Structure 1
Amino acid sequence: MRFKLPSAIAGFIDNATLHRDEIGESPCQVHRFRRGDEVFFLKTSPLVYASTTYSVMREAAVLQWLAGRVNVPEVVLAAPADDGECMITRAVPGLPLSSLIAEGRPVLELFREALRQLQSVSVADCPFDSGAAVRLRELDYLVGKGLIDEDYDFEQWPGLTTPADLLARLRATIPNEELVFSHGDLCDNNVFVDQRGELRFIDAGRGGLADRWLDIAFIHRNLRDDVSEHSATQFLEGLGMPDAPAKREFFEQLDELF
């Protein structure tokens, strides 16, 4: 653990054993633990990320707002600490879509349903701005603080060599946005399906108002890279609207340094 846990968080965990969850590339730490027959997750983020979408307190607020709108983990506790932020959530049932992909099971219709559910959320009173301008300011901050993912790969985008090149490209190509509710990191590790076929969404820290093509771009990339080009093409063809490759590229590039 990177910092001392607030008393309420520490008291809830008590003497339970924390098991580190290594899945994902976020700077947040996630630990799994048990209380009786129930499983919970402790998620912590360092203070330097408090103004970003890595903020655990932001994620807790997003999850609480989404409760009753789509299936998300229950936030049991959320609290700031001297050097960071902490949240405890109850584990969701089911398996991540990544497990289904690993077993060769179909996920295309599940991804379609995930997108439908999220984009059906009314945004009339959504207080979370995850639009392109906000995310670009966030990326500026992360680059300036040296907090970007150093394992970036620009080979697929000619003319980009450095993070500064990418920032300039993004500023020059920022799209006109059709705002919907967006998960912000809609991938096979963050969508669970239970035995009844019900979906649940985790890791919603980037959730909020954003262009409808952000989540589409992430699903398309996931299918293209981990299932097949054919499945990715089928997904786009089933959207019922023309493809927007420039927007998909923008959101893939925006994600590269996170």
Structure 2
Amino acid sequence: MHPWYQLPTAITRFIADASLTADDIGESPCSVYRFSKGGENFFLKTSPPVLAPTTYSVKREAQALQWLSGRIGVPELVAVVDNEYGEAMITRAVLGKPLSARIEAGQPVSHLFLEALRQLQGIPIKDCPLHAGAAIRLKELEYLVSKGLHDQEYVLDQWPGLHDEQDLLRQLRATMPEEDLVFAHGDLGDSNLFVDANDQLYFIDLGRAGIADRWMDIAFAHRNLREDVSGKVADEFLKSLPYVDEPAKREFFMQLDELF
């Protein structure tokens, strides 16, 4: 993490003498730490200045949390501050456990993904200040690749004809979809969706949230089910949707995600 002296004063004052524990779940280049204070659990998340123009920006995620508060279940934003060393925010931990815990226990989760999509896509987007459409995300990816900040452990041989980052970027430019815009989480998976004992949902890691094509979140949920549950369950999930499947869009968003 940042040396203690690099964190904004408002952040260090809140943490005080609490002990920080690294949280390395997920693949984000941001640093995340858990800590407890006054019997409550919190998270500290920081991002360096080079990520400020991207959806990894902590300030962008804080904006998403502020806008979504009262609309769906999201972490409470306690503080967000930036300085010359980067951006930092503190959030209060949400209730429940990640959906991955139910998958590991062999419990059904497709209905919870469907409910998550219903809640997300039901949010009116008329006044939403967050934009995460395909063109914006592709521009972000081009920036990350130009800086060498993209995921280096990508696998492109699942798509014939794609061999390196530039091949993928050309493919994405050529297959940009016509978008059916809704509100999207942007990284909807079993580690970013929490559920309590009453099946109440809470969404975390909302840096990529915003107005985007409805098939982005569907593609993530479908992949999650296919890889961690079964292909049969994943296919049944698609058939449960209230609209006809669009495989080309799902493939576009999976390709777009490969270098993140």
Does TM, normalized by the shorter one, top 0.5? Answer: yes
Could you tell me which amino acid in structure 1 is paired with residue 16 of structure 2?
D
Kept in 1: contact 2:7–2:85 (CA 8 A): no
- The answer for the alignment partner of 1:19 in structure 2 is 21
- The answer for the alignment partner of 1:149 in structure 2 is 151
- The answer for the alignment partner of 2:240 in structure 1 is 238
3-state SS of the aligned residue for 1:234?
helix
Deviations along 1:183-241, whole A, 9 cap, x unmatched?
00000000000111100000000000000000000000000010000110011001121
3-state SS of the aligned residue for 1:23?
coil
CA–CA distance in structure 2, aligned partners of residues 115 and 240 of structure 1: 11
Give the CA RMSD over aligned residues.
0.6
Could you tell me which amino acid in structure 2 is paired with residue 20 of structure 1?
A
TM-score normalized with structure 2 length: 0.98
Matched, 1:182 2:178: no
Give the deviation of 1:52 after TM superposition. Answer: 0.2
Could you tell me which amino acid in structure 1 is paired with residue 113 of structure 2?
F
Q: What is the aligned length?
A: 258
CA–CA distance in structure 2, aligned partners of residues 135 and 2 of structure 1: 27
- The answer for the alignment partner of 1:2 in structure 2 is 2
- The answer for the alignment partner of 1:163 in structure 2 is 165
Deviations along 1:19-56, whole A, 9 cap, x unmatched?
00010000001000000210000000111000000000
Unpaired runs of 5+ residues, structure 1, are none
- The answer for the alignment partner of 2:84 in structure 1 is 82
Give the deviation of 1:83 after TM superposition. Answer: 1.4
CA–CA distance in structure 2, aligned partners of residues 243 and 196 of structure 1: 30
Could you tell me which amino acid in structure 1 is paired with residue 138 of structure 2?
L
- The answer for the alignment partner of 1:173 in structure 2 is 175
Give the deviation of 1:134 after TM superposition. Answer: 0.3
CA–CA distance in structure 2, aligned partners of residues 57 and 177 of structure 1: 26
2:129 alignment partner, one of 127, 132, 149: 127
CA–CA distance in structure 2, aligned partners of residues 192 and 107 of structure 1: 11
3-state SS of the aligned residue for 2:11?
helix
3-state SS of the aligned residue for 1:215?
helix
CA–CA distance in structure 2, aligned partners of residues 245 and 172 of structure 1: 16
Give the deviation of 1:81 after TM superposition. Answer: 2.2
Seq. identity, % = 61
- The answer for the alignment partner of 1:194 in structure 2 is 196
- The answer for the alignment partner of 1:255 in structure 2 is 257
**Higher alpha-carbon deviation: 168-177 or 232-241:** 232-241
CA–CA distance in structure 1, aligned partners of residues 65 and 230 of structure 2: 32
Could you tell me which amino acid in structure 1 is paired with residue 95 of structure 2?
P
CA–CA distance in structure 2, aligned partners of residues 81 and 205 of structure 1: 19
Give the deviation of 1:82 after TM superposition. Answer: 1.4
3-state SS of the aligned residue for 2:174?
helix
